[in-house]
Amino acid sequence: DAGVIQSPRHEVTEMGQEVTLRCKPISGHDYLFWYRQTMMRGLELLIYFNNNVPIDDSGMPEDRFSAKMPNASFSTLKIQPSEPRDSAVYFCASSPGTDEQFFGPGTRLTVL
Amino acid sequence: GDSVTQMEGPVTLSEEAFLTINCTYTATGYPSLFWYVQYPGEGLQLLLKATKADDKGSNKGFEATYRKETTSFHLEKGSVQVSDSAVYFCALNRFSGGYNKLIFGAGTRLAVHP
């Protein structure tokens, strides 16, 4: 299996632009998680899905952030409009429903 | 609520030195405990886990023992290598409402020099 796939690996954009991050989970995994990693706040859980349904989005920082999972093999995290303080590494992870999660390589976002 | 506390880094060691990274947790019940490792430019990978008190998780020469009495899960390795340089995250699993969630510590950066 190819593991969790994220794209792009790096994204540089200007403040106010829309940013879309993409994730393909491991086939057969029912759970998908989006995390944000910064030096100041460490690793934060933003939202997670079970069978394509958002279960807990309490970690989403504000309305500028939205996440979707239209099918079992694809999810997006969108920021609109983006701000410099959104600069971070965003990770996607998937799980078969056990207590282990499998992480993607991350997307490094820089908002100028 | 549940939380994980790790020793602050960075930890700097010479090759073949002994490693300890402290981790303590606060939780109701007896959650599963994990160590994840993040190599430069990569995502987190599961290093080892323990699911109940007195269990010892081990992998790649790393070990950690689930200590209920001290609510700890310290990571140890007898002889580190340069290739062990990475950020190490301690985590616990919280099963709530029918779903598993991982709660991570802040991470400890390890730098091993030749």
Give the pLDDT confidence score for residue A2 in this predicted structure.
80
Task: Indicate whether A97 pLDDT > 90.
Answer: no
Identify the residue with better confidence: B62 or B94.
B62
Q: Kindly state the percentage of chain A with pLDDT values over 90.
A: 87
The rounded distance, in Å, linking the Cα atoms of A99 and A93 is 12
Nearest to A55 among B32, B95, B99 (CB): B99
Taking CA–CA distances from B41, the nearest residue in chain A reads A105
The rounded distance, in Å, linking the Cα atoms of A88 and A105 is 13
What angle is formed at CA A59 by the lines to CA A75 and CA A76, rounded to 5 degrees?
A: 15
Nearest to B104 among A4, A43, A104 (CB): A43
Q: How confident is the model at residue B85 (pLDDT cuts 50, 70, 90)?
A: very high
Prior bond of A81 cis (ω within 30°): yes
Asked if B58 contacts B47 with a C-beta cutoff of 8 angstroms, the reply is no
Give the pLDDT confidence score for residue B100 in this predicted structure.
80
Interfacial residues of A (vs B; Cβ cutoff 8 Å): 4, 31, 42-43, 45, 48, 50, 55-56, 91, 93, 95, 97-106
Give the pLDDT confidence score for residue A66 in this predicted structure.
97
pLDDT in tens, B30-72: 899 999 999 998 899 999 999 999 999 999 999 999 999 999 9
What angle is formed at CA A7 by the lines to CA A87 and CA A108, rounded to 5 degrees?
A: 20
Give the pLDDT confidence score for residue A9 in this predicted structure.
96
3-state DSSP assignment of residue B87: strand
> Does B46 sit within 8 Å of A97, measured CB to CB?
no
Cα–Cα nearest to B43, from A86, A34, A31? A34
Question: Which of A23, A48, A99, A107 has the highest number of chain B CBs within 10 A, making it the mutation to test binding with B?
Answer: A99
Q: What's the rounded mean pLDDT across residues A61-81?
A: 95
Give the pLDDT confidence score for residue B86 in this predicted structure.
97
Question: A45 — phi, psi (to 5°)?
Answer: -80, 125
Least confident of A33-37, A65-69, A90-94, B98-102: B98-102
pLDDT in tens, A3-19: 999 999 999 999 999 99
For chain A, give the mean pLDDT: 94
Contact list, B95 vs chain A (CB under 8 Å): 99
Which tokens hold the place of A14? 């200007």
DSSP A26: P
